[in-house]
Amino acid sequence: MNYRLLGRTGIHVSPLTLGCMMFGGRTSAEDSYAIIDRAIAVGINLLDTANVYNDGRSEEIVGDALRRNGHRHHIVLATKVHGNMHKGDGLDPNRAGNSRRQIIEQCEASLRRLKTDWIDLYQIHRPQPECPIDETLRALDDLVRSGKVRYIGSSTFAAWQVVESLWVSKEYGLNRFVTEQPPYNLLDRRIERELIPACKSYGFGILPWSPLAGGFLSGKYRRDGKQPEGRFADGTHQRAPALLGSQRAFEVVEALRKIATEKGFALSQLALAWTAQQPGITSPIIGPRTLEQLEDNLGSLELKLGPEDLARIDAISPPGDVVVPFYQASFGPHEIRW
């Protein structure tokens, strides 16, 4: 395992991050424990979850797993805050977001579920335009100074929001974000336009989510509409219509599959290896639902892409291009999109 620096922190992390979104939902607790144990056994040391994943159940399972296997002190444990954890309480207008009230309350709840005294990387899951970033950063700074959080990061922020956060941290003497977690895959390369250059300039670690486009880049989905089991199979997922209805997305998959076959790897492994080997990328987040999917993902670590391979892939999916957008973000009155 060739470890990489997590931005400017001095912390070394594995070139793949174990995403825990499936745990406690489609993946049972026992299967989740097996996946976590296997990932740690092969050297993955960065685990990423969030308070909203399966209404907190993901965090509980991760905490249980680390207590069972005794590896908490060897793991860089990341979680996130922003989403609504009080869905049944319609009377409270402050059920989500990036306010001090929400961040402090949800950090304490995450610590309890994770059964730990500290969170290594606490991330803001989404921007909240109506909440000033200094409000958010002051609350996070207090958590760092209290020892409950070691580092802080953002997720799905625009490049200008990342830079704004740095200015506010410097202006007020607050701990700064050290990572950004954006959507990034061979169907959506928009972050190459501004976000990656900004993160590289200011020493951010980049932890891409959905490097396999939610499983679409596994190549298992079909043009004829007869879909196998998967998150897009029944067409109800929010990105299903755009993906399954995009002829270009299927054309990209077929062209990439040819390259993968020539190199003796699965399409999913090619897509994941490509993401991990892009300039500025620290550790793509995999989200295996089964142990078999984890083993497939781990195979990507053996695939090395040379200049000719990368040029062929760029011809199929050009730099900065978007085939299917994986996140349409609204950033307030300016409506700046990337």
SS3 state at 68: helix
Kind of pairing between the strands at 12-13 and 4-5: antiparallel
- Encode 185-200: b = buried (16+ Cβ within 10 Å), e = exposed: bbbbbbbbebbbebbe
Place of tokens 């709840």: 109
**Is 100 buried (19+), middle (13-18) or exposed (0-12) by CB count in 10 A?**
middle
Place of tokens 């999916």: 317
Q: For residue 53, indicate whether it is catalytic.
A: yes
- At residue 264, φ and ψ (nearest 5 deg) are 80, 30
Catalytic residue among 33, 53, 151, 221: 53
Encoded tokens for 230: 């998967």
Distance (Å) of CA 311 to CA 18, 33, 97, 307: 29, 39, 41, 6
- Which has the closest alpha carbon to 163: 135, 139, 197? 197
Q: Which residues are catalytic?
A: 53
